[in-house]
Amino acid sequence: MSKAHHRKKRPEAVRRQVLAVAARLSLEKGPASVTLDAVSQAAGVSKGGLLHHFPNKLSLLDGLFDDLTQDLDRVLAELMQVDPEPKGRFTRAYIATFFQPEGLEDGDRWKVLTVALISEPHLRDRWREWFDRHLVENIGTDSSLDATLARYAVDGLWLDDLLGVLVIDTAMRATLLKRLLDMSRL
């Protein structure tokens, strides 16, 4: 009898390992490198073990999306809870989370997901649904034109930082941050 039969099963640890490896492969070699064979081999997991959690590549991306948006929901909720000013609360939490990408927890996984969002219509739909849900939940406080502009500006900065197109110095970044936060209150 092999040792595998005596090993304690840890399905959540295997799931997290597989997601981490898929994200790493995608960053290092591009999204096309994320195949079930490559991920199972790099994660040290049998193909059957991988298929137990993720039957195909899209389900791997869905798993990454689910993990990231659950973490994002938690961070946004925590930031909103400590913000004493209701008007623009969601927008300020969004700004605080995405304005400084180097401070974004799991930044590499976000890069992978951003690339996947561009190339996978299914994930774009899921992101749109996630975002729409938050906008509906905060319609009374974050539906002003200025709050919308502030969120779009942060999205643009996030993409710019991801691509490394334009490097904004610290003073300009501080000015932009103040202006965006001010806009969230209008």
The CATH number assigned to the domain holding 138 equals: 1.10.357.10
Which among 9, 28, 55 is the end of a domain?
Answer: 55
Asked whether residue 38 falls in the same domain as residue 69, the answer is: no
Asked whether residue 71 falls in the same domain as residue 111, the answer is: yes
Which among 55, 71, 99 is the end of a domain?
Answer: 55
CA dihedral 8, 52, 35, 70 (to 10 degrees): -90
- What mean pLDDT is predicted for residues 99-109? 65
Query: Do residues 152 and 107 touch, judged by C-beta distance below 8 A?
Result: no
Q: Which domain holds residue 114?
A: 57-184
What band does 1 get if pLDDT is binned at 50, 70 and 90?
Answer: very low
Instruction: Note the pTM of the prediction, 2 decimals.
Output: 0.81
CATH code of the domain covering residue 2 = 1.10.10.60
Asked whether residue 168 falls in the same domain as residue 76, the answer is: yes
Asked whether residue 88 falls in the same domain as residue 153, the answer is: yes
Give the separation between CA 25 and CA 123, rounded to whole angstroms.
19
Asked whether residue 143 falls in the same domain as residue 70, the answer is: yes
- The whole-number pLDDT of residue 3 equals 46
Asked whether residue 79 falls in the same domain as residue 149, the answer is: yes
Apex CA 99: angle with CA 152 and CA 108, to 5°? 105
Q: How many domains does the chain have?
A: 2
Give the separation between CA 135 and CA 85, rounded to whole angstroms.
17
For 18, residues 6+ apart whose C-beta sits below 8 A from its C-beta are 39, 40, 43, 45, 50, 53, 54, 60, 63
Asked whether residue 144 falls in the same domain as residue 162, the answer is: yes
Give the separation between CA 72 and CA 114, rounded to whole angstroms.
14
Asked whether residue 158 falls in the same domain as residue 110, the answer is: yes
Asked whether residue 96 falls in the same domain as residue 145, the answer is: yes
The tens digit of pLDDT for each residue in 128-177 reads 999 999 999 999 999 999 999 999 999 988 888 777 787 788 899 899 99
Asked whether residue 79 falls in the same domain as residue 20, the answer is: no
Which among 55, 71, 95 is the end of a domain?
Answer: 55
Asked whether residue 115 falls in the same domain as residue 151, the answer is: yes
For 171, residues 6+ apart whose C-beta sits below 8 A from its C-beta are none
Asked whether residue 35 falls in the same domain as residue 84, the answer is: no
The type of residue at 78 is: E
Give the separation between CA 68 and CA 73, rounded to whole angstroms.
9
